[in-house]
Amino acid sequence: MTHRASAFIVVLSLFSFSAGFVQTSRKEDTKQFRVCADPENMPFSNQKLEGFENKIAEMFAKEFGASLRYVWWGQRRGFIRNTMNATLKEARCDVVIGVPVGYDLVQTTKPYYRSTYVFVYRKGIQAPIKSLDDPVLKRIRIGVHLLGDDYTNPPPVHELAKRGIVENVVGFDTFYSAENPPGRIVDAVAAGKVGVAIVWGPVAGYFAGRQVVPLEMVAVPSGKTDLPFAFDMAMGVRPGDTALKEELEKVLDRKQMEIQKILKNYGVPLVDRALGKAISK
Amino acid sequence: MKVSALLVTATLMLPVFMTACTNAEAPRTAADPAAPTDKEWSMPNKNYASTRYSTLNTINTDNVKTLKVAWTFSTGVLRGHEGGPLVVGETMYVHTPFPDIVYALDLAKEGAPIKWKYVPKQDPKVIPIACCDTVNRGLAYADGSIFLNQLDATTVALDAATGKELWKIKQGDYKNGQTITSAPMVVKDKVISGISGGEFGVRGFVTANDVKTGKQVWRMYSTGPEAEVGFTGTDNEKSWKGDEWKRGGGTTWGWYSYDPELNLFYYGTGNPGSWNPDQRPGDNKWSMTIFARDPDTGLAKWAYQKTPHDAWDYDGINENVLIDLTLNGQMRKVLVNFDRNGFSYTLDRATGELLMAEPFVNVNWAKGIDLKTGLPIENPEKRTSSAMNTKDICPSAMGGKNQQPVAYSPRTNLFYVPANNLCMDYEGVKIAYQAGQPYVGAIVLSRPGPGGNRGEFIAWDPTTGKKAWSIPEGLAAWGGALATGGDVVFYGTMEGWLKAVHAKTGEVLWKFKTPSGIIGNPMTYTGPDGKQYVAVLSGVGGWSGIAVAGDLGAEALPTDALGAVGAFGDVGSFSTQGGVLTVFALP
């Protein structure tokens, strides 16, 4: 019966709260922390609330003394359009927990972590790979994620193409189809179907930690003329919603240690901004 | 359970935007024995030739100024309404965007009440997988059945009299990015359907299913081994590196035409798969291609690639119009295609020989098309790369023309082309974000071309390859065209105007502001009362022009409204969402 009750509350709240963050309804005294999230994208978020962004969202809702509400949408083209910028103001959310700094569909807070694309390969079987210029990359199968839209390969894949490495690159899509779509690329490494995968750090760290076979993760260093492979990650709010941005930043400061702890629990490879190299798994 | 209940509720409440990933159909000056009488409008583009020409002439250039609304019908759906209704006998069949409702309206009764309504059951998870909008481009009718392609890649046959489901078949899995937005076409005992999802690495195909049972008869792919493409003696796979053809795109979400005499059907394939151009060296066959196939076997007789190794998203699915044309004193059976890349192609439709290729809008990515080789003479400065900015490319990715179908009048020998006047910048260094992963993406910024008007309604002379006249449109003529025996041509604009113009001069004779922006295609029919009617769906594709902007692959355009960077940021100041059919008649 609980699930029926909560569906009912959601319907009510869609109509009884106006846009804006941590709103107080006219009729009720409930504050809401409204988060835009992907329903099936571990380790970031899912509907079972198992992702690290779910945990961070819970922490923030608690800090604000607000109830947590999600607007779910797949994180691909149309994500912001259909969540934060939904036509019906009542159907909108106000915060995206993790977006790269410079993502201009939203206004970003100051970053709260930095991660990088990493090489993932079998420890002890594949000799260490530390650079895109390693000649082994011309010989072994390389798994990469396909991010969907045209011309949007992960940056290391662009740089592989520039180096003429194309034919031995194997794409893995990120659809809802498998149980853990983003994790299949790491399964392929463990199973020896690809010799190495190049994966965004949080995805690699989480799924590598769930393999029986020991896997090595090494940050992909970006050469002088290469695109960046490491990114500062922040929270995103609606452009112009500076008040909310500032409130979030206060909590980011206050809860810095706890946030780092959550990230480490999920195996997110964190990168030191100054050095640009992985400092922890 | 708690969470999924929440998800469903939220999803239902969320408005969805669909874009115009659409196409047009084929005309029929070609002999067309199966053609219905002109009282009816039984195919999305009127006839197998896709001319969108009706001989009805009660409404003419003298009296069209008195045209009045006869009745209206709300579809109950908010998103972008492409395509148009069918009229068969005394029934009108109206389709909607997702959830892809079909209504049968009784034209014999006052106010056209609902005879039946069919609402497919589809998982709402399909909504975010649709590339640009949850559009549907229409229905097919044959032998007492209505055929519908649902967004979740299901084809359904309905009893036209009752709406009862006759059969239902899965063409693909939306969980793998496969959706369908195009209208099916019935040829003999087969229903022919395409597939959408080029943005998600779907490998395009076309499928024939048995009209009576839905059983698959054949399926042919756009890319890959000869046997699977149904086209021998070609170098399909060699035009890709490695096995990139497996996710090679070339989806088939446009309109279909058919020549019964030659027994060939024609359609276009879309942009190559989801890698950046650097990642897929080669011509990437057969993306961006016009195919001529035998409907009995699916085998291709010829294929012509318009944009080899695409770097602009000139998604080549626009309609192919089949007409008989005198060129250089010689009568030719031709196919005319107004492509997204800005060129109008005229080919011999029996052989695929390229006869003419002229720009119909401002084009600078290529200087022309070599008629001997069929290859574009490219301007190397305008070839995009994800690693750098390329400025001022014309036309934009939205195309010299998008999916909205042209019309052709045999009375004037002119094509009526709803066109765009847009150019774009490709910027390669923006931070983007997808499925939890940051990347550095190429961002397309579209803007008005020379003159500042974003659209243009063109009358095009296929004999000379030149404009006869044109009407600049401030926003865009994003709806299809209709030509009539009364020498009145109709078209809709994104502001919501339905306009009637003189077929010979382009003089605007009448216009009416419908409730929402028009991205649908006007049609005409004779009602049971013997009067000629004109009908059009309005229902703009997405607030703030995202319907249009989404078509660019430009999530990065600020989507919320006025003052947006993109070309169509002000759509929302003209009308808002809502699907309405408006039907007009003389008083």
Range of lowest pLDDT (B311-325, B417-431, B484-498): B417-431
Mark whether B199 is an active-site residue.
yes
What is the percentage of chain B residues whose pLDDT exceeds 90?
68
pLDDT of B366: 97
* pLDDT over 70 (residue A134): yes
Pick the residue of B127, B178, B439 with the most A CBs within 10 A to test the interface with A by mutation: B439
* Structure-token pair, residue B467: 């404009």
pLDDT band at residue B433 under the 50/70/90 scheme: confident
| Cβ atoms B361, B342 nearer than 8 A | yes
| Cβ atoms B523, B535 nearer than 8 A | yes
This complex has an ipTM of 0.80
Nearest to B570 by CA among B553, B539, B549: B549
Query: Which among A7, A49, A158 has the least Cβ separation from residue B386?
Result: A158
Nearest to A264 by CA among A50, A49, A52: A52
Mean pLDDT of chain A: 84
Selected residues 342-381 of chain B with any CB under 8 Å from a CB in chain A: none
Shortest CA distance from B247: residue in chain A:
A171
Phi, psi of B225 (to 5 degrees): -60, 150
Beta-carbon contacts of A269 under 8 Å, excluding residues fewer than 6 positions away, are A115, A116, A118, A201, A202, A204, A205, A217, A219, A278, A280, A281
In the DSSP assignment, the letter for residue A91 is G
pLDDT of B176: 78
* pLDDT over 60 (residue A23): no
- Beta bridge partners, B149, equal B155
Using DSSP's 3-state secondary structure scheme, residue A56 falls into helix
pLDDT of A28: 47
Give per-residue pLDDT as tens, A137-164: 999 999 998 775 444 678 888 888 888 8
Q: Which of chain A's residues have a Cβ under 8 Å away from the Cβ of B436?
A: 38, 41, 44, 75, 98, 182, 200, 202-203
pLDDT of B555: 36
- The answer to whether A11 contacts B442, with C-beta atoms less than 8 Å apart, is no
- The answer to whether B556 contacts A81, with C-beta atoms less than 8 Å apart, is no
Range of lowest pLDDT (A8-12, A61-65, A173-177, B90-94): A8-12
Question: Is the backbone of residue B392 left (phi > 0), alpha (psi -120 to 50) or beta?
Answer: left
pLDDT of A178: 53
> Once rounded to an integer, what is the mean pLDDT over residues A38-46?
92
Asked if B216 reaches chain A (Cβ–Cβ under 8 Å), the answer is no
- The answer to whether A91 contacts B1, with C-beta atoms less than 8 Å apart, is no
pTM of the model: 0.81
* pLDDT over 70 (residue A8): no
pLDDT band at residue B405 under the 50/70/90 scheme: very high
pLDDT of B63: 98
Q: Which of chain A's residues have a Cβ under 8 Å away from the Cβ of B198?
A: 150
Selected residues 524-553 of chain B with any CB under 8 Å from a CB in chain A: 543, 546, 550, 553
Mean pLDDT of chain B: 87
Tell me the nearest-neighbour CA distance from B370 into chain A, angstroms. 28
Q: Which of chain A's residues have a Cβ under 8 Å away from the Cβ of B434?
A: 75-77, 147-149, 152, 174
Give per-residue pLDDT as tens, B322-356: 999 999 899 999 999 999 999 999 999 999 999 99
Range of lowest pLDDT (A143-147, A197-201, B117-121, B335-339): A143-147
At the topology level of CATH, where does B16-585 sit?
Methanol Dehydrogenase; Chain A (2.140.10)
| Domain range list for chain B | 16-585
Phi, psi of B140 (to 5 degrees): -120, 150
Count the alpha carbons within 13 Å of B176 in the hemisphere toward its beta carbon: 14
Mark whether B152 is an active-site residue.
no
pLDDT band at residue A12 under the 50/70/90 scheme: very low
pLDDT band at residue A10 under the 50/70/90 scheme: very low
Three-point CA angle B573, B578, B581, nearest 5°: 115
Pick the residue of B393, B434, B443, B540 with the most A CBs within 10 A to test the interface with A by mutation: B434
Nearest to B537 by CA among B155, B92, B131, B186: B92
Q: Which of chain A's residues have a Cβ under 8 Å away from the Cβ of B4?
A: 3, 47
Three-point CA angle A39, A22, A27, nearest 5°: 105
* pLDDT over 70 (residue B563): no
Question: Is the backbone of residue B261 left (phi > 0), alpha (psi -120 to 50) or beta?
Answer: alpha
Q: Which of chain A's residues have a Cβ under 8 Å away from the Cβ of B201?
A: 146, 148, 171, 173
Q: Which of chain B's residues have a Cβ under 8 Å away from the Cβ of A164?
A: none
